[in-house]
Amino acid sequence: MSTATKRDENSPWWKGVTRYQWLVLLIASLGWIFDTFEGQIFVTSMNEMMTSLLPKDVPSEQRDAVAKLALGVFLIGGAIGGVFFGMLSDRIGRARTMIITILVYSIFTCMTAFSQEAWQMIVLRFFVAMGVGGEWAVASAMVAEVIPRWARVRSLGIFHATSTLGSYLAIAAGAFIVGNPALKTEAIPDLNWRLAFAVGALPALLTIWIRVKLKEPESWKKAQEVAKRDPTKRAGRIGDLFKGELRRNTLVGVALASIGLATFWGVKIYGRDLMRGAAEREVVLQNVGSSVDNQAVLEANFSQIKKKEMTGHFLVMTGGLIGMLAFGPISERIGRAVRCCLDCLQKVVSDFIGAPFLCSGFWSVASTRVTRSTFRNCSRRGCVGQEVDCASTWGASSRHRFCF
């Protein structure tokens, strides 16, 4: 009889989760926290980076365009990294691949601190994104494969929600490192944002813990044994997701995740810029009638403006945190498909705190929906071993099954 059968259905969801399973959730969440930090540190220092890396005579519209290009390249890199490292994890294992992805995003974030031109920063951000996207794919797969079925939705909700802590770290770096005028020197006037990116090397230390403590999931080991006996069942072939009945479900799953992520990133940028713009207008209004140039006043109040900008970012991310924690339990009660549809409708009329709340919930529910559907179909179709015998990494396994 399985553990799930013996377990009292009225017990708290965490009852029966072992110490090692909690350890997996902790390490995966730490990787995701630092993962998010590496992504968000660009958002918190974007304006300063553009001023530093582009010629001073470049108009603000062009600076904004370059910043948006960098963000777009980052999102593309994340998608490619998720697929590539997802497939790699099916071949060499979750723990090994997680180590590689963390090293990738840590090293390239640190290297970004030495960028001298905008194109260099954009190229490096692409490789950071590959590590970021890969780490999320592999870590979420490992959590889903190791955590028991009854605790999986709540555990994945916690895992997704910890990303907010990474954003908080990036906000703190933006307020106290990027926005700290005391760190500027005559020799290196843009030392602030460069130091913030240099800090990005620290997550590499997490790989030591992963190497010592984590082992490959039993479901992954059994899948490897099956693949040895029958090469046609080898995992890690992305093409299988676009064949037959899987094609429609794969496209729907990707569309759901794309809507949630694209809207979420847009709202984060908007919330940050909204507070920064309000702070700048306040400073300029206070300078009305003065002989001092507005630009000089803005530079003199740089630290104050930066902290208000980070306050806007903090509010947006706090709304996202509430959404990611709330919509997991809600989706269990009313169904993931219904929840995703309601989120789409409410996005139209929500803004600032409400928007990230809904967007984060939408993203968390959609990704959990895909993972749970994958595992459910594994049990229906008699996959080898446990119910979680199919890899849940996005785009990773030839045995993915998405149900909507």
Place of tokens 């996959």: 383
pLDDT of residue 289: 74
* Residue 90, CA distances (Å) to 20, 117, 237, 379 in order: 22, 37, 9, 19
Place of tokens 């990611």: 324
Per-residue pLDDT band at 119 (split at 50, 70, 90):
very high
Q: How far apart are CA 110 and CA 121, in angstroms?
A: 11
Per-residue pLDDT band at 338 (split at 50, 70, 90):
low
Please give the mean pLDDT across all residues of the chain.
77
pLDDT of residue 139: 92
Per-residue pLDDT band at 124 (split at 50, 70, 90):
very high
Query: Quick check: 186 pLDDT over 50?
Result: yes
Token pair for residue 344?
């789409």
Query: Averaged over 252-256, what is the pLDDT?
Result: 82
pLDDT of residue 250: 83
**Tell me: the pLDDT tens digits for 9-25?**
677 878 889 999 999 99
3-state secondary structure of 309: helix
Q: How far apart are CA 124 and CA 77, in angstroms?
A: 10
**Residue 243, Cα to own-chain centre: how many angstroms?**
28
Q: For 248, how many CA atoms within 13 A lie in the half-sphere containing its CB?
A: 4
pLDDT of residue 258: 79
Nearest to 366 by CA among 153, 75, 163, 79: 153
For each of the domains in the chain, give its residue range(s) and CATH number, in order of start: 18-380 (1.20.1250.20)
Q: How far apart are CA 110 and CA 163, in angstroms?
A: 20
pLDDT of residue 142: 92
Q: Cα dihedral sign for 247, 253, 257, 263?
A: positive
**Tell me: the pLDDT tens digits for 308-320?**
888 887 888 787 7
Task: Select the highest-mean-pLDDT range: 114-118, 186-190, 295-299.
Answer: 114-118
**Tell me: the pLDDT tens digits for 340-398?**
555 554 443 343 444 444 444 444 444 544 444 444 343 333 333 333 333 333 333 33
Q: In terms of pLDDT, which residue wins out, 330 or 221? A: 221
